[in-house]
Amino acid sequence: MAIKPTDFYDQLASHGVEFFTGVPDSLLKEFCLCIDDRISNDKHIIAANEGNAVALASGYYLAQESIPLVYMQNSGLGNAVNPLLSLCDPDVYSIPLLVMIGWRGEPGVKDEPQHVTQGRVQIELLEALGLPYEIISKDDDQFYKKISNVIEIAKNENKPVVLLIKKGTFEKYKDEIVQSDDQRMNREEALEIILENLDDNAIIVSTTGKTSREIFEIREKRGQTHEQDFLTVGSMGHCSSIALGIALAKPHREVVCIDGDGAMLMHLGSLTSIASMKPKNFRHILMNNEVHESVGGQETAAKYLDLSAIVEAVGSSKVFKAATPNDLKTNITNFITCSGPSFLEVKIKPGSREDLGRPTVKPADNKENFMKFLNK
CATH, range 187-374: 3.40.50.970
Q: What is the pLDDT of residue 192?
A: 97
Q: What is the pLDDT of residue 340?
A: 86
SS3 content of the chain, % helix, strand, coil (to 5): 45, 15, 35
The predicted-structure confidence for 238-264, as pLDDT tens digits, reads as follows 999 999 999 999 999 999 999 999 999
Average pLDDT of 110-133? 95
184 pLDDT band, cuts 50/70/90, is confident
The predicted-structure confidence for 128-160, as pLDDT tens digits, reads as follows 999 999 999 999 999 999 999 999 999 999 999
As a whole number of Å, the CA-based R_g of the chain is 21
| In the predicted structure, residue 177 carries a pLDDT above the cut 70 | no
Q: Model-level pTM greater than 0.75?
A: yes
| In the predicted structure, residue 287 carries a pLDDT above the cut 80 | yes
DSSP 8-state class, residue 86? I
Question: 176 or 290: whose pLDDT is higher?
Answer: 290
Which residues have C-beta within 8 Å of that of residue 280, sequence separation ≥ 6?
A: 251, 339, 340, 341
Q: For the domain 5-165, what is the CATH superfamily, name and number?
A: Thiamin diphosphate (ThDP)-binding fold, Pyr/PP domains (3.40.50.970)
Check residue 237 and give left, alpha or beta (phi > 0: left; psi -120 to 50: alpha). Answer: left
In sequence order, the β-bridge partners of residue 204 are 229, 256
Q: How far apart are CA 152 and CA 134, in angstroms?
A: 12
Domain limits of the chain? 5-165, 187-374
Average pLDDT of 353-371? 92
Burial readout 332-341 (b: 16 or more C-beta within 10 A, e: otherwise): beebbeeebb
- What value does the mean pLDDT of the chain take? 94
